[in-house]
Structure 1
Amino acid sequence: MEQWNQSSVVEFILLGLAEGILAETALFVLFLAIYLVTLVGNSMMVMLIGTEPRLHTPMYFFLLHLSLLDLCYSSVTVPQMLAHLLSRHKAMPFARCAFQMYIFLVFGMAECVLLGVMAYDRYVAICHPLHYTSIMSWRFCSWTAGAAWASGIINSLIVNAFALRLPYRGQNLINQFFCEVPAVIKLASADYTEAEVVVFVFGSFLLLLPFILIAASYARIVVAILRIRSAEGRRRAASTCASHLIVVSLFYGTALFAYMRPSSVSSATGQDKAVSVFYTVVTPMMNPLIYSLRNKEVKCALKKLLSRKIFSPVT
């Protein structure tokens, strides 16, 4: 036993979401359906925005990147979770677990920054409509979208470097359904305080800074909307922001709960798993539904695409 405790961990055992064949089968069917809706919904958004000239605007440019991030974000965790729900041995090799942690944080952190940029886009559209095209130029949009992806890559490298430099010997049971940095570093066989501080600092940086930008943008938007005299004008201005606000609430509500709580809070109650399911599985499915169901331009583009497919002559 002493020799085993001193040996390096070669694989992690994921405890998953439930125990028992019936529960795991039910969860498999449920999450498979959600994942298929996620793939179809986000792929449809990417195709619509890419092919419909009316949607070639900065707002939809950022929405295209959001759909790409959601596709990647959910694909990092859900397929492996589905496989483990049908498997008796829920293990992941150390290297694959480390890779999942890195890729997951890349997409998650990039989405935080992108949501902040999207809020700034709505602020410019409502508060500075006459200067919108000059401020939100294609060069600026491309630069900010690239900065969102780059920030995810760089910050994930730093966070995972601190997590993976810790020694892991003996303990290999992760009370989660995927390899997530806060859950993994708790298994280190040395003091992991430094790694927890790094996760908290960089989590705060990439969660709170975009959140401050979002809050400041919408504070100015609310003031601008209240100055509009007509009720119809206020309604139209508010409706352009409603979808983004819903997406921000879903994503930030769960992400802040997962990454900004004290480390003393135990995950044994299953709260962490429920929250993780929401922001890794449910939110990527909801985003395209929110934007498509609440957006007339997207619905018109979808009808146009479907009519073109249905009524096009067969060759």
Structure 2
Amino acid sequence: MRVTRRTVTVIGLGLIGGSILRAAARAGHDCRGFDHDPATRAAAREAGTSGREDGDPAPGGWRIDDSPATAADGADLIVLAVPPAALPAVLGPLAGHPGIVTDVASVKQPALAAARPAGVRFVAGHPMAGRELSGFAAGDAALFEDRPWVLCLDEPTVLADWLAVAEFARSLGARVVPATAAEHDDAVARVSHLPHLAATALAAQAAGPLPASLAAGSFADGTRVAASAPALWADICAANAPAVRAALDRLIADLTAARAALDPPASASALEPWFGTGHAVRADWPPTAGRPVPVPPERDALLALGRAGGWLTDITGTELTAVLPR
């Protein structure tokens, strides 16, 4: 697809922000960055000017500034890669900025609420990509390739701004999924926030020398994200509390049903249907893309695409191509 070269500023250079900086520079965008931590700025600056003695960005590199205002000056697109609780403080100084502002926070309704009084051209976003590691050093330019990147189309988001951010996300290799903020928050509570809670609970079951020594593949697969930073995920789950509570209630009800099937006399025939439901969902994941179809650049059509599980594959101006899962 044709990529519009943009001047992109990334504020917050942890795993996601650092990966966006790397991926955007690789895609040919003019990139700047800022992080509140001086050590992170130093590491990012060294990586972005590697091989240059004058401190200018190396080919495929970036510029790191010592203030968010300097980094944001002249940017077409500002990406806020900060925790949900930090968004209001970061958005405030951007009031009146002429460029588009997007974010990558894991919860979207609070992000929209924080952006409304800030007076910015805001498009709420969330790349569904990550690792259990954190920090700038864990970043990866390939992190977003063929991964969902949700962009919210709630009113009063301007469609042209949404399309510009969608084109940027596609330039990093992502699959752009349209949704409302409420739809996003409900979905990620089920497939992201709840798994972190469940993985942490499962990991705690391995306390003790013998369980830890016997743990193998199923333990590793089921608890991988329990290695994530506790403070970060406490912040995320608290920010999405209503949806996470509902998801957790459903999980508890499911586990309670399994517990009841284990009451004497326990039998495999009572448990097999319980295992079957989850097995069927997992066997059909990930979704397989169908044939490409055109999508009109209209809010209702795009939201219908997202609700059907589809995503955009090509954005050229206002000509959009999408796929639906088979």
More relative contact order in 1 or in 2 (CA 8 Å, sep 6+)?
A: 1
TM-score, normalised on structure 2?
0.27
**Structure with the larger helix share:** 1
